[in-house]
Amino acid sequence: MRTLHLGLRVTDLDRSLAFYTAIGYEVVGTVPETPIGRLTMLKLPGDEFVSLELVHDGGPVERGTDVSHLVVQVESMADALAAHRIEPIAAVQEHDQGMKTTFLADPDGRRIELVQWPAHHADGMTAADFPDKESEK
């Protein structure tokens, strides 16, 4: 098993597409009519598969029915923010061993976390990121 993608309910599809393509997502395809609305499938340039689905039914998005936040890995925090001309909603934070994070907000107010891993870090989170896991047992 593996995670396929994350679905986000959006209130204005055009505005949301403009935002997500500005931060680097590409439209892969759409499913115009489903019981839950129009589906637009997106992926990042380095991804082989769809990783984000925008769901639009024309109605308002109620808080609690969307998502807490979406996390996107970037090679360089400074380059990503400059290239896409997007202002973060929080200061860039530098964490242990050089990891950097910040948050953006999409048109519906959802938080998008950008993460820059330190040099030589795996492309995703692994057990090595949780050294105290054994002590929790």
Domain count for the chain, please give it.
1
Q: CATH no. for residue 88? A: 3.10.180.10
Whether pTM > 0.85 for this model: the answer is no
Per-residue model confidence (pLDDT) at position 63: 65
Close Cβ partners of 69 (under 8 Å, ≥ 6 residues apart) = 103, 110, 111, 112, 113
Domain span including residue 70 = 6-127
**For every one of its 137 residues, what pLDDT tens digit does the chain have, with 9 covering 90 and above?**
466 788 888 989 999 999 999 989 999 999 888 878 899 999 999 888 899 989 898 877 776 667 767 888 888 999 988 887 888 998 999 987 888 989 998 888 888 888 898 888 887 777 777 776 554 44
Q: Is 113 exposed, middle or buried (0-12, 13-18, 19+ CB in 10 A)?
A: middle
